[in-house]
């Protein structure tokens, strides 16, 4: 379970770095997948994080393959979390905006 928590929190960091990069450079929005994968692999290499050995999957021939695959998994989880966060943020805006427009239009008709 600790490796799932580490994967989750490191992917939160990858998502934050990805969103920070998109904020300053609009061109990076088009390459979100590549950016998430690059940040994930970089963070996994920096932390030397190999979740496969934590799950006792030791059949990988080289250690760097496990670290690189972990980085790609970090990037993938970060993309999923970004999509879920965007869905809930958009849903919140949709509920607030529709409620205000309905109230404004119905109040003008009644008055």
Q: What is the DSSP annotation of 32-52?
A: HHHHHHHHHHHHHHHHT--HH
So what's the pLDDT on residue 86?
87
Q: Which residue has the tokens 């849903």?
A: 91
Report the distance separating Cα 26 and Cα 19, nearest Å.
11
d(CA 35, CA 75): 8
pLDDT at 111 over 70: no
Domain regions of the chain by residue span: 2-86
Conformation bin of residue 49: beta by default, left when phi > 0, alpha when psi is -120 to 50: beta
Q: What is the pLDDT of residue 108?
A: 59
pTM, full prediction: 0.77
The answer, yes or no, to whether residue 18 has pLDDT greater than 60, is yes
* Per-residue pLDDT at 73: 94
pLDDT over 60 at 110, yes or no: no
Mind listing the pLDDT tens digit for each residue in 69-106?
999 999 999 999 999 998 888 887 677 666 677 677 76
- Output the pLDDT for position 43: 93
Q: Is the pLDDT of residue 24 over 80?
A: no
H or E segment at 73? helix 63-110
Question: In this predicted model, what pLDDT tens digit does every residue of 35-60 receive, in sequence order?
Answer: 899 999 999 999 988 888 887 887 77
Determine the length of the chain: 111
Give the C-alpha separation, 42 to 61, whole Å: 21
**Closest Cα partner for 46 from 14, 3, 18?**
14
């Amino acid at each position: 379970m600790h490796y799932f928590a580490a994967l989750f929190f490191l992917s939160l960091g990858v998502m934050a770095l990805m969103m920070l990069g998109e904020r300053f450079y609009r061109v990076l929005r088009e390459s979100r997948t590549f950016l998430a994968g690059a940040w994930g692999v970089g963070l996994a290499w920096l932390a030397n994080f190999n979740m496969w050995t934590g799950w006792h999957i030791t059949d990988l021939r080289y250690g760097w393959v496990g670290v690189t695959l972990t980085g790609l998994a970090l990037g993938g989880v970060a993309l999923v979390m970004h999509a879920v966060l965007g869905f809930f943020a958009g849903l919140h805006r949709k509920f607030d905006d529709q409620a205000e427009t309905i109230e404004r239009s119905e109040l003008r008709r009644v008055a």
